[in-house]
Chains A and B, each alone.
Chain A
Amino acid sequence: MESFSFWFFGGCTLIGSLLVALCPKLVHSAFSLVLALIGVAGLYWGLGADFLGGVQLLVYVGGITILFIYGIMLTPKGATKWSLGSLLFPGVIAVVPLCVMLHLAWKGLESVIKPVDAGVPQPTVDAIGRGFLNREEYLIPFELASLVLLAALVGSVYLARRKKES
């Protein structure tokens, strides 16, 4: 079951990501992103992060994607020119070394990390909730996150606001 869910959601993620990168049409890419994000959520569940999977679905699929679709509406039709030739050079430049780097990084990590099978993961909601409010744990990040969101909110509102004065 675990194996199946990994392969299924992993496949969703991989295909979604590929399509995001390669789809010529923006709308298609956006929906591919949704697919990939759902895949990631599935992988989270497979990794025992049930709460996280939920958050991923809610925030990403439900929130961020909406934002993007809003953005897509700004785009004039046919504005996304795209051809393989124009992508090849920067793509190769960017991707190949990165692949090598990440491969090496993983090879190194593989030799170090000792997988510990701590059994089937337990539901995490409770622990996460406590963690957020525990002085010794994630209280400060939690509070700071609120500030970030406030700043982001205020900032985006300011930026998106049409000028009243003009």
Chain B
Amino acid sequence: MDFFDDATPAWYALAILLLPAAGFCWNAFTYRTEFTRKRGHIVPLLTIGTALFCALTIFKHAVIDGDVGDTPHAASATHDAPAHDSGGADAPPAAGSLADPRWSWSSKAHGVVYRIIDTGALRIDAGITIDHLTATMLLVVTLVAFLVHLYSVSYMHGDKRFSRFFAFLQLFSFSMLGLILTDNLLLLFCFWELVGVCSYFLIGFWFEQDEPPKASMKAFMTNRFGDVGFLIGILLVYRMFGTTDLAEIYAGLQAVAEGRAALPPLFGWEAGTLLTVAGLCLFTGPMAKSAQVPLHIWLPDAMAGPTPVSALIHAATMVAAGVYMVGRIYFFFTPTALAFIAGIGTVTALVAATIGLVHNNIKKVLAYSTCSQLGYMMLSLGVGGYSAGLFHLYTHAFFKACLFLGAGSVIHAVHTEDMREMGGLKSKLPVTYRTMLIATMALGGVPFFSGAFSKEMIVEHALMWGWSHGLAHMLPAIVAIGGGGLTFFYMMRLIYLTFYGAPRDQHKFEHAHESPPAMTIPLMVLAFLSFFSVGWPMPFLGGHKLPELLAAPPALASIALGHGADHGHGGFALAFGVLVLSCLVIVFGYRLYKQTYKDRNPGPEVWVARLRPLHTTVSNLYYFDEFYRATIVRFSYATARVLALFDSKVIDAIVNGVGTVGQLIAAGFAAFDRIVVDGLVNLNGTVCHALGSRLRRLQTGNLQDYLAFAVGGMAFVTLLFLFLA
């Protein structure tokens, strides 16, 4: 029986999803027990291991075996092509029906649905979608997560909150997997925020120190900015399609693209503007989560968290969730929105890479590298390299995790993160060194390493896009190519400063020793994955390369606006050209590195001196933090303070004052007197009291005054009478 014929995959997926959740609960509720405190890693390892197994199963059936005979969900009844035949990436959609030609499996078709909410208007039926992208992501996440779990057993050994660390890792795994599995935009948002919170707690794991709490808050707040944009995007989408279910959104947009429906008029905007704005709103989420300029500032700071966390969350998975999300709703982006995405990706790739050149903190260099690579991915998605971007996500996850874990191993050995205190560790940490070198090669895009495949695809797409859009649009391609050199340079600089040369801190050097197997085994596995690439046509993939299976959906938004999918596959010539170009750039990067660091001719100091203003700017991270601090942060605090003052001094007073009729009378009574506005409530100095005391002056105690008042009163009443009559 075919795996995807019944609801079985849903149970596997649910196991993947819920086992980590159960692990979290176990660790959270038993954290006082001796077992959990000492052996808090056992249950998490079991759950994540099982999840890995389930993910492998799904991957096997969906990708390797291609057990996809089941009819896909939604409006794809017309589509009966087997998944493998979806063939070349970015193939133009068939004319006529714009149904998603890609294979996908939905648990809803098999009755596995969780109706989470139904207000009568908004109905969220949570289901599970599995397609090639999902299956791949599941595998990546569970695998890296498992390895990081394993690594942490040793790395976090002896930490007083050992079990809690695993609890949060579990919670994170749960959220991340949920993010991947869900088929609903709003639920995606939910998991999106949840991973953010896990990240928050894990960054701030060592909260006694000064740095982590600040970094964690910064991370959460920056993400919150993005999330709010995301949420507004969801609101717009809901307003347009009346649903947040991805398949239904797809169907809705499909109807628009096929001319069967029209978008509701909103704000008087036409459909293109509307879709672009919605797309850009949605994109603010990924911008923050995937650390794109200008919302990238949190990622380097997030390195304050434990290194396994950096590897898992801030390198391999969570930060890539933005890219994944853009891929998930790829059909929704208009050309304008995509161009914007490409632009952001380009800037990010460049900016982060340049910062990576000058930083001395090993983890931060890696962080900026991550940032830069995420920029690559966005760039790729933006220029239409759907499969390239997602494939880069896949390769990057492994080699960057490897690098981080390696860095962790180094830090574990020398107890510093500053590369200026390292050097010469090659001999002391051979395994770490070798694995990291392999990962560096992969990251640098050295041919035959995994990174090379994805990177070249990106460059290829960027070139194609630039070619078809005009010269100004070549910038992404230029950055993509040039960035390769920068990347290789700063990575080699990292390797050099860490492992080569003479030890710069003898004391630390002497105490350094290779990490235990629990740490080195994950390193080796990841190094293997960095080298061994499914970028090659794989026999177990039926002779396909993995990226070919990650086919882009029809660009519905573009079609709806009358654009065709306007660039196709580049062909072998281009691919070869790019390969050559990349090699040249890498060689250039290596030359630069060799000249500067190996030969010291001229040494880095000279470069620094020569490029002083540039270096200052870059090493100050382009003053992003300062800018935000001076504007948004300061503005918020100032607003808060001003409003609080306003609240206590003005609103309170006005309401207190006006709330009593007293104020009105007081205006007449005490025009010449100080108008006291702190109201009826304050015992002294209220309007009413001011009035009251003025009234008291009438009550003199002198009888004849009273008589005069009474006579005056009669006159007053008479006047009143004459006036009112």
A and B from one complex: yes
Q: Using a CB–CB distance below 8 Å, which chain A residues touch chain B? A: 90, 93-94, 97-98, 101
Query: A98 touching B708 by the CB < 8 A rule?
Result: no
B177 to chain A, nearest CB (A): 90
Taken residue by residue from 691 to 724, chain B's Cβ proximity to chain A (1 for < 8 Å, 0 otherwise) reads as 0000000000000100010011011001000000
A22 to chain B, nearest CB (A): 17
Residue of B nearest to A90 (CB): B708
Q: Is the interface of A mostly helix, strand, loop or mixed?
A: helix
Q: How far is the CA of A93 from the CA of B708 in the complex (A)?
A: 8
A112 to chain B, nearest CB (A): 17
Number of chain B interface residues as a range: under 10
Instruction: Report chain B residues within 8 Å CB of A90.
Output: 704, 708
Instruction: Report chain B residues within 8 Å CB of A98.
Output: 711, 714-715
Query: A97 touching B708 by the CB < 8 A rule?
Result: no
Query: A101 touching B708 by the CB < 8 A rule?
Result: no
Instruction: Report chain B residues within 8 Å CB of A101.
Output: 714-715, 718
Query: A94 touching B718 by the CB < 8 A rule?
Result: no
Q: How far is the CA of A93 from the CA of B711 in the complex (A)?
A: 8
Instruction: Report chain A residues within 8 Å CB of B712.
Output: 93-94, 97
With A94-B708, A97-B715, A101-B718 given, can you name 16 additional A-B contacts, CB distance below 8 Å? A90-B704, A90-B708, A93-B708, A93-B711, A93-B712, A94-B711, A94-B712, A97-B711, A97-B712, A97-B714, A97-B718, A98-B711, A98-B714, A98-B715, A101-B714, A101-B715
Residue of A nearest to B704 (CB): A90
B420 to chain A, nearest CB (A): 95
Residue of A nearest to B715 (CB): A97
Q: How far is the CA of A93 from the CA of B710 in the complex (A)?
A: 11
Instruction: Report chain B residues within 8 Å CB of A94.
Output: 708, 711-712
B449 to chain A, nearest CB (A): 107
Q: How far is the CA of A146 from the CA of B169 in the complex (A)?
A: 102
Instruction: Report chain A residues within 8 Å CB of B708.
Output: 90, 93-94
Instruction: Report chain B residues within 8 Å CB of A93.
Output: 708, 711-712
Q: List 15 A-B contacts (CB under 8 A).
A: A90-B704, A90-B708, A93-B708, A93-B711, A93-B712, A94-B708, A94-B712, A97-B712, A97-B714, A97-B715, A97-B718, A98-B714, A98-B715, A101-B714, A101-B718
Q: How far is the CA of A101 from the CA of B708 in the complex (A)?
A: 16
Q: Nearest 5 CB-CB pairs, A to B?
A: A97-B715, A94-B711, A90-B708, A101-B718, A94-B708
Q: How far is the CA of A94 from the CA of B713 in the complex (A)?
A: 10
Instruction: Report chain A residues within 8 Å CB of B718.
Output: 97, 101
Q: How far is the CA of A94 from the CA of B711 in the complex (A)?
A: 6
Q: How far is the CA of A101 from the CA of B711 in the complex (A)?
A: 11
Q: How far is the CA of A97 from the CA of B708 in the complex (A)?
A: 12
Residue of B nearest to A105 (CB): B718
**Which residues of B from 543 to 597 have beta carbons under 8 Å from A?**
none
Q: How far is the CA of A90 from the CA of B714 in the complex (A)?
A: 14
Q: How far is the CA of A97 from the CA of B722 in the complex (A)?
A: 13
B290 to chain A, nearest CB (A): 85
Residue of A nearest to B718 (CB): A101
Q: How far is the CA of A90 from the CA of B715 in the complex (A)?
A: 13
A29 to chain B, nearest CB (A): 17
Residue of B nearest to A91 (CB): B708
Q: How far is the CA of A98 from the CA of B715 in the complex (A)?
A: 7
Residue of A nearest to B711 (CB): A94
Q: How far is the CA of A97 from the CA of B715 in the complex (A)?
A: 6
Q: How far is the CA of A98 from the CA of B714 in the complex (A)?
A: 8
A100 to chain B, nearest CB (A): 8
